[in-house]
Amino acid sequence: MNISITKNTSPKAKPDQTNLGFGKYFTDHMFVLDYTAGKGWHDARIVPYGPLSLDPSAMILHYGQGIFEGMKAYRTDDGRVLLFRPQKNLERANISNARLDIPAIDEEFALEALKELIKVDADWIPTEPGTSLYIRPFIIATDPYLGVKPSSTYKFIIILSPVGAYYPEGLNPVKIYVEDDYVRAVRGGIGYAKTPGNYAASIRAQTKAHELNYTQVLWLDGVERKYIEEVGTMNVFFVIDGEVVTPELNGSILAGVTRDSTINLLKSWGVKITERKLSIEELYEAHKAGKLDEAFGTGTAAVISPMGELNWKGNIMPINNGETGPLSARIYDTITGIQSGRIEDTMGWTVEVK
């Protein structure tokens, strides 16, 4: 499929790279692809970034039939542009599409489209340490219709945002509130899909955590309210007595690309890593026995976010004296090193945009 390009004739001033925050600035262009039942995906185009024209009855606005992804592009010291495991994200986009009854995208074509868009906006890729170009592909149901059914029209859009750290804390540990009232997802639901509803379901608990002076929540499973699932919008890892433990994928947990990268790095380093059920009681016992060495979240946005304290029903568990642990730091340095081309990519994870 041919991709037409319409250049933005009024490009914006670039933001200050030392104060980007996360998801506040957008580049000059976006990629758009339409879907119509019977015709398939069509009209691939790169156009100036700007508001969409949507019918107020568009189904995404009412029933949330949509999916999204998140990935990053980095500018290397020698001027190349690298993506990190983009095929994994596009593969997951189709897993989410299948759950939301949205037609699949052609993953190879989506990667080509992504590369073309990045080439057009390449001068937006920030180079300050800790910065990158965040890539947000998403699909929305656009039928003007208030009945509940799969839409027969969709838009697949990719937008780009130069970003710094997701949390203002950066790699400094965040304080986490263990949420035992609200749940994020249940098995059989949409927890494993990257879809707006999961994030909508999380916002109230996040606000509650903020009110209690915590940065994020630790989610427990929706059935027994006992087993640890995720932290905030991230997958979660604990170092217990020298062994790394992460919740096994069970249908309500998102299969994170950074989660998978972390597991593979740990294995390559000979560190014992186990994917299994982990209850909050077991974690509390490990803490009391002095065996909870480190805890961290993994995600594309923050990469690694160490936890410095957990609050479970008023039981405070300080972790590693509220400091970033050695394994958390090593994983962060290695993944961001590979992403930015400063560390040799022996895993074959990076894809160059040329």
- Sites of contact with ligand COI (CB under 6 A): 70, 233-234, 299-302
Is residue 177 within 8 A of residue 214, CB to CB? The reply is yes
Let me know how long the chain is: 354
- Of 71 and 244, nearer to ligand COI (C-beta) is 71
> Encoding tokens for residue 242?
């020298």
Helix (H, G, I), strand (E, B) or coil at 323: coil
- Of 35 and 192, nearer to ligand COI (C-beta) is 192
The residue at minimum Cβ distance from ligand COI is: 299
Non-local (6+) Cβ contacts of 216 within 8 A are 174, 176, 177, 206, 209, 231, 232, 297
Least gap, CB of 21 to ligand COI (angstroms): 12
Least gap, CB of 22 to ligand COI (angstroms): 7
Least gap, CB of 68 to ligand COI (angstroms): 8
CA distance 130 to 117: 22
| Backbone dihedral region for residue 43 (phi beyond 0: left; psi -120 to 50: alpha; all else: beta) | left
* Closest of 339, 343, 336 to residue 351, by C-alpha: 339
Helix (H, G, I), strand (E, B) or coil at 265: helix
Least gap, CB of 40 to ligand COI (angstroms): 29
Give the CB-side neighbour count of residue 310, counting CA atoms within 13 A: 30
- Of 167 and 284, nearer to ligand COI (C-beta) is 167
Least gap, CB of 137 to ligand COI (angstroms): 12
Least gap, CB of 140 to ligand COI (angstroms): 16
> Encoding tokens for residue 348?
């074959």
- Of 233 and 324, nearer to ligand COI (C-beta) is 233
Helix (H, G, I), strand (E, B) or coil at 181: coil
- Of 71 and 120, nearer to ligand COI (C-beta) is 71
Least gap, CB of 256 to ligand COI (angstroms): 7
SS3 content of the chain, % helix, strand, coil (to 5): 25, 30, 40
- Of 49 and 68, nearer to ligand COI (C-beta) is 68
Distance of CA 167 to the CA centre of its chain: 13
> Encoding tokens for residue 92?
């997951």
- Of 26 and 35, nearer to ligand COI (C-beta) is 26
- Of 30 and 120, nearer to ligand COI (C-beta) is 30
Non-local (6+) Cβ contacts of 52 within 8 A are 155, 157
Least gap, CB of 121 to ligand COI (angstroms): 19
* Closest of 134, 116, 120, 113 to residue 15, by C-alpha: 134
Helix (H, G, I), strand (E, B) or coil at 99: helix
User: Using N-to-C axis directions, what is the helix angle for 107-120 and 86-99, rounded to 10°?
Assistant: 120
- Of 161 and 324, nearer to ligand COI (C-beta) is 161
Least gap, CB of 307 to ligand COI (angstroms): 14
Least gap, CB of 303 to ligand COI (angstroms): 8
Is residue 44 within 8 A of residue 105, CB to CB? The reply is no
- Of 132 and 233, nearer to ligand COI (C-beta) is 233
> Encoding tokens for residue 263?
């597991």
